[in-house]
Structure 1
Amino acid sequence: MPFISKFQRQTDYNRFPSSTPIVIDNGASYFRIGWAGETEPRVVFRNIVQRPRHKSTGETITIVGDHDTALLRYFDCSRSGPRSAFDNNVVCQFEIMEYILDFAFDRLGANGSRIDHPILITECVCNPVYSRSKMAELLFETYGVPSVAFGVDAVFSYKYNQLHGICEKDGLAICPGFTTTHVIPFVNGEPVYKGCCRTNIGGFHVTDYLKQLLSLKYPHHMARFTWEKVEDLKMEHCYIAPDYALEARLFQKGGKEAEDKTKRWQLPWVPPPTEEPPSEEEIARKAAIRERQGQRLREMAEAKRSSRINELENQLHGLEFLLQQLGQIEEEEIPSFLSETGYTSKQEIESTLTKVTLSLRKAKGEPKPEQAENEEKTDSSTSEKYPLINVPDNMLTPEQLKEKKRQIFLKTTTEGRQRAKQKRVEEELERERKTQQDEERRLENPQLYLEQMRSKYKELHEKVEQRKRLKTNGGHTNGSSTSGGVGRGERLNAAQRERMRLLTTAAFDRGKGEDTFGARDEDWQLYKLMGKDNDDDDDGPDEDEAELARVCSRLQEIDPTFVPKPEPTPLQPATAEVPNVRPLTKEDFQIVLGVERFRCPEILFHPNLVGIDQAGLDEMTGVSIRRLPSKDEALENRLTSSIFMTGGCSLFLGINERLEAGVRMLRPCGSPIKVVRALDPVLDAWRGASIYAASLKFQQQTFSRSDYYEKGEEWLRRYQLRYTL
């Protein structure tokens, strides 16, 4: 079975005799294995297994413990996540446990699947017989170990620290582990299992709670909060508050003390590149590029102009040649000759010749002579251009009637264009005159002119806005200058209110007796009245809006501080502001740990914060003391004078002081209370087991494979390790 791991395989396995036991600390969080008598375990890894498939070959790979995240990109992990053999603190998944033991023995240096060394393996307090028997079956049947011993990890840690004078023979061992917390009383150096108690709260719940809080606080950085990183943040920054309520009020008020207790985790952040002003060389290069582009455009325009001039000159020569031909032929042959050219008369050819001549002069840039303009105007107004207009219809043939209609249409269109052109010229002259007058007024008194323009803009803006508001509200303001009425009638304009009045009147008149609406012709006049739009609010708003636009444009020219007001519409009363998008800074990539530092580990003392209705650490000590068979006050005082803390969660700052204060509230006044912590809460359990397995009397505490085959599971039910040898 292929394994992937960053741990190197041990090479001195064969140097140890078969009588040397192998010590295993099988914790729910970490797995530790080593040789008896040594001070440190040989192999330590997380007690999880993952079995993904390779993306290219499809081969299943077993990943045990910690793994390199960069390596997982070659595997499909969508169907196989990290799995643990534990359910709370009891081993239930022995298939996963077999993968873990295979990996542990392989890293220890074992050759083959047979292990010829006695094994001391740790378990939880009051481990179920089913779990113990399945573990024994796995060790005896699969690996062929000669003998096995089961012990409690917290007891080994207590005995190890007792040898170093940290705790006494009588005391309480509190072990807040990964998923559970145990309290074990000790009397004369031996654990009293009848006084044990357990709470389903541990370091896993603290880490998970911190991960949830950070994900809710920073949802845009959720991918950064991996389990390993949150675990590191928990162990580095979290602490136990002496008084949770007082600490929470301190952070609620803020201040320097709360700021000092706030920690920040800086995420990777790359500042955006600063835009430096272009150098002189860059400016010169861009100017040269623009000059080349302009030159190319000018050349293209000149080529297009030359082509246009050549085309007009050819057309002009053709028209002149056509007129010469008309002068040489007889009058009777002119219609047949013109039918081949596409023109209807000699006047049309001359008019086209004049237009082409003017277009050619314009293309060449020559000034337009006044005579040509007068001739064009005169020609457009004379009837020679349209000879059939004044001829009666009874004197014309059907073809000439069609031509007459066409000439009438051309004349009307031409005259309309001329009138529109003349009107535009007059309006332009009027605007220039007004602009000149405004400029003269501004030069005479600039300050007065600016004030007048501002007041005029304000007046016009209010007038236009009032008209739109009246159109929306139906003429009602309810004493307020803002838009929007109270009732439905105030949201209707005049035409809609008139329709409603007509409908109401008709319904009232026909509401009594038989419905005879439609029997008379006058009834149908109602539909005609309803179809009319009598709203006079729309009359004449164009002039005010045009004048408002002109004044606004003028103010923008003469007043750099002028900001035009937004113009609300009936469908959009207020202009939505564009959100101010600012570039991300270094502070946006900071994770601030404030109240989360003490709020997460507080669940060890108040599990109800995460929905677990069980006792906290301080209450568990009282429960354990009450469960003791003998009610001796002197014994209770000895127990509380040696409260021993072990396990990963005992590393939180302030947990000893908080636990001592909590126990003091449960015990009578004057009771001796002392809380101590293990030398190494994480590894002391394995070290105590290593010292125990190195004793000469250890073989008397194990049971062999032959005993297992002979006595079976019932013998395991009565099996109990004696820790004082």
Structure 2
Amino acid sequence: MSSRVTRPSRQRDYHRFSPDSPIVIDNGSSCFRIGWAGETEPRLSFRNVVQRPRHKASGETVTIVGDYDPSLMKYFDCTRSSFRSAFDNNVVYQFEVMEYVLDYGFERLGAGGSEVNHPILMTECVCNPVASRSKMAELLFETYGVPSVAFGIDAAFSYKYNQHLGICNDDGLAICTGLTTSHVIPFVHGEPVVEACCRTNVGGQNITEYLKQLLSLKYPLHTNSITLEKAEDLKKEHCYIAADYCSELKLFQRETKEAEEKTRCWQLPFVPPPQEEPPSEEELARKAALRERQAQRLREMAAAKRLSKIADLEADLNALENLMSQLDAAEEDEIPAILYQRGYASREEIESAASKAAQSLRKVKGEPVDAEEKAEVSLEEKYYLVNVPDNMLTPEQMKEKKKQIFLKTTYEGRMRAKQRKFEEELQRERQNQLEEERRLENPELYLEQLRTRYKELSEKVEQRKRPKTNGSHTNGNGSVGRGERLNAAQRERMRLLTTAALDRGKGEDTFGAREEDWQLYKLMSRDNDDDDDNERDEEEAELARVASKLQEIDPTFVATTDGGALQGAAAAPQPTTSRSRWRGAVPLPGGSLPAGHDRRGPGGAGRDGRRLAPPALGGGGGPRGLCRSILLTGGGCLVPGMGRRLEADVRKIRPFLSAINVVTAADPVLDAWRGAAACAASSGFPQQVFTREDYLEKGEDWLRRYRMSYIL
């Protein structure tokens, strides 16, 4: 699809044509073409698809037929809608979609109302089902009120038009390649032999999809950029059909100069980042003033918070001092009740809290702190109940003692972890310093050692990720047994457990009957999986560290999971259409297996059509009356090399040096409409139409026997 699409304008001369002038419609699965009989060009041509998105502002559903203008689609939500086609492999089956297309075609042609008072000549595929033809006739008669309808084969119109131009003979084959299907029709004395036609569901769309698959598999980093639209453009610009697939493959395998000349490179769409202009002096001054205002506001908030904290600390300190004065004035037997009421265990705890509050207050005010006060309280003073015997403590003090024991244990563990972390950091710094000295002493040797170390670690990590099996044996039902899932250490522990059980029971398995047996089981069945996990984590961390070092030293290094390294330039290559230029078009001439289809291309169908054709045309493989003329038509035959490849394939089944002429239509895309327009303008066309009276009287049975005579 082009980046800029022009919508067809509405025709102004519709009322100048008499009601006897037929309207010619080439109803293809790819494009819809409509115009007047006797003209050489269709008035309108657009994609035969319909899309129904919603307007983002109003939410109203709109109908878009054919191509759309990308500049207007920004106002619509297309995420929940997609293009819909009325065709299924070149046969119309979605007539509600077909009605949208016909409405748009007639409206653009100039028909203002719903009535179309002109005869209609519409193309269809060969051997179109009667149900589809009758539904189309019903749609034209009932919805648009047309007076008469005629149906003809698109490939037959193209063949007759090229026969009129002298390109092909009266007897021959017409190979029509469309969007999704290809048809092969024999012609005898200028008339199609429908009984001998062949059909295959391979067309231009299959080439596009197959080319997209090839490029996506070759360049997985650019899968989102290689869309169907991009693949369609590449097919039209670069693809060709090789005369001999195997010879072309060997040519590219040898990497000759001819293969290099046939290679095409294309650049992915790239949008450079916008370059920011340096700010002006006024802008810099404005930002500086804004930052100053923000800093002043933060300073004011910090000052207010500091004043609030000072007030809270002073209140706490006054409360503690009042409590100390109250304890000094109280009797000895009243002190425990006062302490219990205030939530303290002893007088020392209150003094410690008061000292901390005074120290925090001086620190907030910015006053110097004495060295004695700055020193932390010792653990014995902080956790004073830990060493006191239980019989000397009250129940409340026992609870406090348990709490202090827990806090002291946690604190000591935290200090040990902090010391261990500090030692590890010192060790890491010493190791980094040694590595830096080695790198400066011999950079090349250091880089080679790093690469070797990275390869060894990556192999170990990859080895650990593999399944822990000792073979591919099964347990009889197709699944791996428990013994195969256990590693070597686990199997050794199972063996020791079994040996201990048999020794304990003297030949009988009585292990577990006593309590101490389970202690032995717990001791021997202790798994080393935690150790394995720790070792694996350490190896992965070391691997990440070595990879980071390599990336700092070698900019072209790219870490991989298989222990190797890719160069940065090769990690994200720009796509090339070298072998894909001719591999993508393989399904069209005759090969179907590369594209995953169970049908052959039109070339193979052409050989079948020749065998099914009458003997006068060279059918059945007989030597007399050989087919000498093969016409290629349809948009799919525009791929370069189609005629040469087809001629090479057909010659393989023809007698030696027999005459054959493979030609391409004058205009493979428009010749079907031009032939239909010339046929509709002939004097014998009114005798070949199916009128509204015939439809009301004869119905579908007449359409079953209907066959058009192609007379230009």
TM-score by length of 1: 0.62
Name the CA shift for 1:297/1:248 in 2 (closer, same or farther; >3 Å): farther
The Cα shift of 1:315 comes to 9.6
The DSSP-based 3-state class of the residue aligned with 2:586 is: helix
Q: Where does residue 655 of structure 1 map in the other structure?
A: 642
Deviates more, 1:58-67 or 1:646-655: 58-67
**1:193 and 2:194 correspond:** yes
**1:239 and 2:240 correspond:** yes
The DSSP-based 3-state class of the residue aligned with 2:587 is: helix
Deviates more, 1:355-364 or 1:40-49: 355-364
Deviates more, 1:202-211 or 1:19-28: 202-211
How far, CA to CA, are the matches of 1:571 and 1:136 in structure 2?
Answer: 74
How far, CA to CA, are the matches of 2:705 and 2:337 in structure 1?
Answer: 127
The Cα shift of 1:606 comes to 1.6
The Cα shift of 1:172 comes to 2.3
Maintained 8 Å contact 1:25/1:122: yes
TM-score by length of 2: 0.63
* Equivalent residue letter for 2:664: R
Q: Where does residue 100 of structure 1 map in the other structure?
A: 101
Task: Select which of 599, 608, 612 maps to 1:627.
Answer: 612
The Cα shift of 1:692 comes to 2.7
The Cα shift of 1:156 comes to 2.0
Deviates more, 1:235-244 or 1:605-614: 605-614
**1:21 and 2:19 correspond:** no
The Cα shift of 1:47 comes to 1.9
Q: Where does residue 506 of structure 2 map in the other structure?
A: 508
The DSSP-based 3-state class of the residue aligned with 2:199 is: strand
How far, CA to CA, are the matches of 2:158 and 2:84 in structure 1?
Answer: 27
Q: Where does residue 63 of structure 1 map in the other structure?
A: 64
Q: Where does residue 267 of structure 1 map in the other structure?
A: 269
* Equivalent residue letter for 1:621: G
The DSSP-based 3-state class of the residue aligned with 2:593 is: helix
**1:667 and 2:654 correspond:** yes
The DSSP-based 3-state class of the residue aligned with 2:34 is: strand
The Cα shift of 1:66 comes to 2.4
Q: Where does residue 609 of structure 1 map in the other structure?
A: 594
Q: Where does residue 599 of structure 1 map in the other structure?
A: 583
* Equivalent residue letter for 1:86: F
* Equivalent residue letter for 1:204: Q
Q: Where does residue 182 of structure 2 map in the other structure?
A: 181
Q: Where does residue 136 of structure 1 map in the other structure?
A: 137
How far, CA to CA, are the matches of 2:507 and 2:695 in structure 1?
Answer: 106
Maintained 8 Å contact 1:21/1:119: yes
The DSSP-based 3-state class of the residue aligned with 1:643 is: strand
How far, CA to CA, are the matches of 2:698 and 2:583 in structure 1?
Answer: 51
* Equivalent residue letter for 1:599: R
The Cα shift of 1:33 comes to 0.1
- 1:298-356 alpha-carbon deviations (Å, 9 max, x no partner): 99999999999999999999999999x9xxxxxxx9969999998xxxxx999999999
* Equivalent residue letter for 2:672: A
How far, CA to CA, are the matches of 2:59 and 2:348 in structure 1?
Answer: 89
The DSSP-based 3-state class of the residue aligned with 1:150 is: strand
- 1:74-120 alpha-carbon deviations (Å, 9 max, x no partner): 45774x65333333233334343333222211111112122222222
Name the CA shift for 1:298/1:648 in 2 (closer, same or farther; >3 Å): same
Structure with higher Rg: it is 1
Name the CA shift for 1:227/1:308 in 2 (closer, same or farther; >3 Å): closer
How far, CA to CA, are the matches of 1:249 and 1:215 in structure 2?
Answer: 23
Name the CA shift for 1:624/1:136 in 2 (closer, same or farther; >3 Å): same
Q: Where does residue 575 of structure 1 map in the other structure?
A: 540
Maintained 8 Å contact 1:167/1:644: yes
* Equivalent residue letter for 1:658: R
How far, CA to CA, are the matches of 1:317 and 1:713 in structure 2?
Answer: 110
The Cα shift of 1:236 comes to 2.6
What are the residue-to-residue correspondences of 1:302-313 with 2, within 5 Å?
Answer: none
The DSSP-based 3-state class of the residue aligned with 2:41 is: coil
The DSSP-based 3-state class of the residue aligned with 1:488 is: helix
- 1:494-539 alpha-carbon deviations (Å, 9 max, x no partner): xx97x8875553233765xxx7997xxxx76667777889x9x9xx
**1:157 and 2:158 correspond:** yes
Name the CA shift for 1:28/1:319 in 2 (closer, same or farther; >3 Å): closer
What are the residue-to-residue correspondences of 1:394-409 with 2, within 5 Å?
Answer: none
How far, CA to CA, are the matches of 2:165 and 2:645 in structure 1?
Answer: 25
The Cα shift of 1:658 comes to 0.7
How far, CA to CA, are the matches of 1:239 and 1:162 in structure 2?
Answer: 27
The Cα shift of 1:124 comes to 1.9
* Equivalent residue letter for 1:600: G
The Cα shift of 1:287 comes to 13
How far, CA to CA, are the matches of 1:706 and 1:595 in structure 2?
Answer: 58
Name the CA shift for 1:573/1:196 in 2 (closer, same or farther; >3 Å): same
* Equivalent residue letter for 1:698: F
Instruction: Give the number of equivalent residue pairs.
Output: 585
What are the residue-to-residue correspondences of 1:192-591 with 2, within 5 Å?
Answer: 192-214=193-215, 227-251=228-252, 257=259, 260-271=262-273, 486-488=488-490, 503-508=501-506, 569-570=534-535, 572=537, 574-576=539-541, 577-578=543-544, 588=572, 591=575
The DSSP-based 3-state class of the residue aligned with 2:150 is: strand
How far, CA to CA, are the matches of 1:357 and 1:135 in structure 2?
Answer: 99
The DSSP-based 3-state class of the residue aligned with 2:631 is: strand
Deviates more, 1:161-170 or 1:575-584: 575-584
The Cα shift of 1:202 comes to 1.5
How far, CA to CA, are the matches of 2:303 and 2:236 in structure 1?
Answer: 73
In structure 2, runs of 5+ residues without a counterpart are: 1-5, 340-345, 382-387, 431-436, 442-485, 552-557, 560-567
The Cα shift of 1:221 comes to 5.6
Q: Where does residue 39 of structure 1 map in the other structure?
A: 40
The Cα shift of 1:14 comes to 0.8
Maintained 8 Å contact 2:176/2:184: yes
- 1:6-40 alpha-carbon deviations (Å, 9 max, x no partner): 43222211122222221111112211001122222
Name the CA shift for 1:322/1:248 in 2 (closer, same or farther; >3 Å): same
For the aligned residue pairs, the C-alpha RMSD in angstroms reads 6.0
Name the CA shift for 1:59/1:341 in 2 (closer, same or farther; >3 Å): closer
The DSSP-based 3-state class of the residue aligned with 1:84 is: coil
In structure 1, runs of 5+ residues without a counterpart are: 326-332, 343-347, 381-388, 390-397, 440-445, 451-483, 538-566
The DSSP-based 3-state class of the residue aligned with 1:575 is: helix
Name the CA shift for 1:221/1:316 in 2 (closer, same or farther; >3 Å): same
The Cα shift of 1:715 comes to 4.3
* Equivalent residue letter for 2:608: V
The Cα shift of 1:619 comes to 3.2
How far, CA to CA, are the matches of 1:17 and 1:614 in structure 2?
Answer: 47
Name the CA shift for 1:258/1:568 in 2 (closer, same or farther; >3 Å): farther
Task: Select which of 632, 649, 652 maps to 1:645.
Answer: 632
Maintained 8 Å contact 1:170/1:639: no
Maintained 8 Å contact 1:607/1:614: yes
* Equivalent residue letter for 1:110: A
Name the CA shift for 1:680/1:288 in 2 (closer, same or farther; >3 Å): same
Maintained 8 Å contact 1:358/1:368: no
Maintained 8 Å contact 1:196/1:624: yes
The Cα shift of 1:654 comes to 1.1
How far, CA to CA, are the matches of 2:215 and 2:672 in structure 1?
Answer: 33
Q: Where does residue 89 of structure 1 map in the other structure?
A: 90
